[in-house]
Amino acid sequence: MIRVESISKRFAGRPVLENLTFDLPDGRITSLLGANGAGKTTCLRIITGLLRADSGRVHLGEIDVAQNPMGARRQLGVVGDREGLYERLTVEEYLTLFARMQGLGGKGLRQALASVRDELELEELWRRRTRGFSQGERMKVSLARALVHSPPYLILDEPTRGLDVLAARLLRRTLLRLRAEGATILFSSHVMSEVAELSDRVLIMSGGRIVGNGTPDSLVAETGSANLEDSFVALAYGESRRANEEVPA
Amino acid sequence: MEWMQRLLKSLILMIAATPTAVTMAQEEPTAKRCYLDGWGDSLACYRVPVGEADNREGLAVMVAPAVNSSGREPLYLLAGGPGQAASDLAPLLNAFRKINREHDIVMVDRRGAGRSGAFNCGFEREMPADLQQFSAELAECYLQHPGFAEQLNSRQAVEDLERVRRFLGHDKIALWGGSWGTRTALLYQQWYPQSLRALVLDGVAPIDTKVFLAASAAEHALQQLADDCAADSGCARFGNWRGELQQLLNDWNDTRARTFPDALTGAPTEEPMLRWALANAIRSALYDPAAAAQLPYAVDQASRGNYLPLSGLTGLFAHSSNGMAMGLTFSVACAEELNRITPEEVARDSAGTFLGSAFFDLFATGCKSWPVQAKPYSAPEPRAQPVLLISGTADPITPPVYAHTALGYLSDKQDLVVRGGGHINSRRGCIPELIAQFLDAPDVPLDQSCVADIQRPPFMVAAYGPAVTVDSQSQPQQAGGQL
Amino acid sequence: MMRRPDYSAAQMAALLRKELLETWRDRRALLMAICFSLMFPAMLAGSTIFFVKMHTEEKTRLALLGVDNAPLLEAQLRSADLKVETLSEGEPRQLLAGGYDLVLQVGEGFASDYRSFRAPELYLYVDSSSASAGRAERHLQERLGQLQQLIAGQRLVARGIAPQLLVPWKLQVRDVSTPSSRGAMILAMVPGLLILTLFVASLATSVDTSAGERERLSLETLLLQPLPGWQVIAAKTLAVASMGWLGSLLAITALVALMPLMPLAELGIQQATTAAGVVTMGLLLLPLALLVAVVQILLALRSQSFKDAQTQLSILQLAPVILLMVLDMSRVELSDHFWQLVPLVAQQQWLKSLLVGDAVSLPWVLAGSLATLVPVVLAVALGARALRRERLLNAV
């Protein structure tokens, strides 16, 4: 369970997140929806501990992210909004590096590497340097890196962006497998079909606030829309217009 | 990957070199930094223990280290005299700069010379002009140190040199000998050929040659000067100045001796210029071609009653005994040279010469006060080390004929002859370069063509000095005549 | 805190391996480091060879005009260095332009003036804007001076005066330098250049590993790993320092390897740098390499972008090197031991000593190296703090 309790964040005096509170239950995939600039990335970074909230707390299970960042990082797998690969390292070297940094070694390391290699179909890429990889290949490596230490919590920032069909399918398959094993998964996206298909729950952000929180069906019902996209537009843009009127520039 | 191997090798070398360097440091004698007049760079100076009570300080050994210690054999400089100190040869290092890049240059002051306890009998600066007085002072000196006087000789100098070679840890060495130093070098070659790689001999005094019979050699040098003068358009004007010189010496008398001007003080002389001293001064002028070039004019003027130029010329040698340790000079000269010269030989040598026995008499008189035992040499045995001989055709003391006639026992020799050259030519023209080439490859014949470029300095033809034009038609003008 | 310190070393090793792999696989950075490291020893050797060639091998060509007025000059001036060519006529300016280094003109009345003791004029035409002018004049003065002395001597003798009266005393010069310390003239720039090499060789890597990682967002991923910030900075510092250090080692090796080709002996200079000296120099530079690396990383992390970092560092790295050269040229007395506790100055002084074969004092080297390492530790700590700054993540 990831618990976010009333976190707020300002950048240079401008509020980016305002009093966010939500829970992410284990064994569920939650998607985070929001227009550009809604505060999704900031929210994810606070959950991963990269940023500190001005107020509020984030717990990964029992771990307070701000107080025990090292502990939190061992529990987390993160795929950022760009892949963060090292072009001069091979896939094997890259994954070994992160596995070791996560404390793996010896047999455990070999097993973990073999497991992500097989799951994400990395055999062909394994000894190649990542320079010149396609978007899909990069995502696969990046996901493998996030998963190599089998973290119970997985955070993905727009993982499907620019993916081809096969890669997107592989990603979906992996996320579903992880959900089945009880992982807590949060990903941001603005592809509604994907969100509707994968998510158990949906969080909608607008103007630094949560404006919608529920299952896709409940959100559709709540807004009286025909589908998730319409309900997102209603929640996100209705809310942001109101927010703009309230907050002086 | 060659560079890799080299890198590894150098690392191995470094590791291996360190402990050896430490052990070397323990064995290597300690040097002090010192200087010699005439050479600006610092030298490594050692004291090498030799002998007993008479030489408590040990031999003074001065080394000009090679700029690059490339392992080439060191060059030892042997001084003349006998009685000169090797440390007085320091100015020669300026000419030997190139040699010094690869070769250590070693100067050993032999026992009784220079810094190794100069045995100068109190003749620090000037010798008394009066032979009797000189002889008396010498006798007194001898009586004070008869044992020391007896033991100084060439054999001892060579043994000491060999000891220094071992002391400094040198394997084979090269020797440069100048004048009497060539005798020491040739004797070293006889006794320690295995220590020797090459010899450079300038102004050669072969073992069998009686170099104190100097009258004929001096006469020959003077005749060469006269010939060269006659061939020079400016100098030829002096006509038969050689004859005038003879006349001058023949007519020399007490009045002239006492009124001879003093070239240093400008005042009337304190010591009269005696005839034998004048003859020796003229002989001395022949050592140096630049001085010799002024002789025709000086003699010509003297024959006209103007003794000033002759005085100026003799003034050049005012401090003639400078640097010679007279005790050492006489110990060696009397034991090794004077005793093997017969009166007949003296008569034959001095007959018809301007010098006569004026030079020989000085030593003959001195040796009467210096009764050391004769120390004859044995006949020289064949030797095969490469030898470079350097001579000047107008050398008044070691003419080239010595090198050409008395060194038949040397199988590998090259001969540099400087036309019109005086005594010691190692510094002139391309000779230093040729010596450097010789030491680099002693067995390769040298290209000697550049030796011919060495010329006599211009003759003094008038009070203004040398003629700047070939045909000096105008009469020499009197000094200050135009003012 | 749920720290698992037993993982720390393995984590650090993995990270260090990554940083080293990245550093040494960066061909452009490597090429730049190697080029610069080899460039200055090659230039130094080349210029020395050229300098010596110019000063020792070149002959001076002298055109002698009006030689009929004083034929003596022709014979007496000629030497191994001075080639005298007599010309009946010629325009000095054209002769100088046409390959002669000097033109010496003897006037009409030279001989008669000379004979009557009226110091006649000799006219020396020289093009002082030409590179060979100084050497040519020196060659001529040498010969002319000797002739002048000879004539003055003869004139004194003619008047009964011993020529040595012209020499009231003999000045004996005693040079306290050693053949190896004379190398300091040529090698004076080398410590500064070696330190500059260190800066230049590590520049590209330091920017890549900091500003570059940040721009590529891989830094973010790294920061999400359970290891303390100081380890990240330390690993990067070590990797960057390895490049800078090896660059300077390469430069030292190249320099020492080229020394035998340099005509040092002709200049009376002994090559005194030993293999042990080279190794010592390398070791001395290691703490400095670390300091340079960590400072470069810190600066690059502060900058706005990759390009910005490159520009800033290129300018900033010149500052200490220029400072060193100014200190050297202004002959600030740095022999005081306490200068050995100042990073950069210390290394410069040590390198200078080792290059000319002098010894350096081990306690002071240890103290000075420690004085260099202390700021390294501080900078790593500072860098660890900088990694926590939010601004680091926002610049994209």
- The ipTM of this complex is 0.86
Residue C282's pLDDT band, with cuts at 50, 70 and 90, is confident
Domain count, chain B: 1
pLDDT at C309: 82
* CA-based end-to-end distance of chain A: 36
C301-346 pLDDT tens trace:
888 778 888 888 888 777 777 777 777 776 666 666 777 788 888 8
Q: Is C275 close to B35, i.e. CB distance below 8 A? A: no
User: Does the domain made of C59-166 have the CATH classification 3.40.190?
Assistant: yes
Q: Is residue B183 part of a domain?
A: yes
pLDDT at B186: 93
CATH code at position B213: 3.40.50.1820
B-facing residues of C in 6-35 (CB < 8 A) are none
pLDDT at C374: 92
Question: Given strand A55-60, what is the order of strands in its sheet?
Answer: A14-24, A2-11, A55-60, A63-64
Q: In which residue are the tokens 């997140």 written?
A: A17
What single-letter amino acid sits at C319? A
pLDDT at B24: 37
The whole-angstrom separation of Cα C158 and Cα B293 is 12
Torsion, CA C130, CA C136, CA C137, CA C141, rounded to 10: 180
Torsion, CA B221, CA B342, CA B189, CA B287, rounded to 10: -20
The residue that leads in pLDDT, A47 or C263, is A47
C136-188 pLDDT tens trace:
888 889 889 989 999 999 999 998 888 888 888 888 888 887 776 776 667 77
Q: C290 pLDDT exceeds 90?
A: yes
Q: C273 pLDDT exceeds 80?
A: no
Contact C255, C44 (CB under 8 A): yes
Contact B101, C265 (CB under 8 A): yes
B142 shares contact with chain C (CB less than 8 Å): no
C74 shares contact with chain B (CB less than 8 Å): no
Q: Which residues of chain C have a CB within 8 Å of the CB of A93?
A: 18, 21
Contact C70, C111 (CB under 8 A): yes
pLDDT at B14: 38
The whole-angstrom separation of Cα C364 and Cα C339 is 10
Q: Is B261 close to C173, i.e. CB distance below 8 A? A: no
Q: Is C163 close to B468, i.e. CB distance below 8 A? A: no
Say how many CB pairs under 8 Å bridge A and C.
Answer: 86
Q: In which residue are the tokens 């455990």 written?
A: A108
Full pLDDT tens readout for chain A, 249 residues: 899 999 999 888 888 888 889 999 899 999 998 888 888 888 988 998 888 889 999 999 889 988 888 889 899 999 877 768 888 899 999 999 999 998 888 899 999 999 999 998 899 999 999 888 888 888 889 999 999 999 999 999 888 877 888 888 888 899 999 999 999 999 888 778 888 888 899 998 888 888 888 888 888 888 888 888 888 888 888 744 444 444 443
Phi, psi of B199 (to 5 degrees): -125, 135
- Give chain B's residues under pLDDT 70: 1-28, 51-56, 125-127, 129, 318-322, 471-483
Q: Which residues of chain A have a CB within 8 Å of the CB of C390?
A: 11, 51-52
The whole-angstrom separation of Cα C197 and Cα A220 is 66
The whole-angstrom separation of Cα B218 and Cα B242 is 13
Cβ neighbors of C115 (< 8 A, separation 6 or more) are: B462, B464, B474, B476, B477
B309 shares contact with chain C (CB less than 8 Å): yes
Q: What is A2-246's CATH number?
A: 3.40.50.300
The whole-angstrom separation of Cα A67 and Cα B248 is 119
Global pTM value: 0.73
| Pairing mode of beta strands A184-189, A29-34 | parallel
pLDDT at B200: 95
**What are the structural domain ranges in chain A?**
2-246
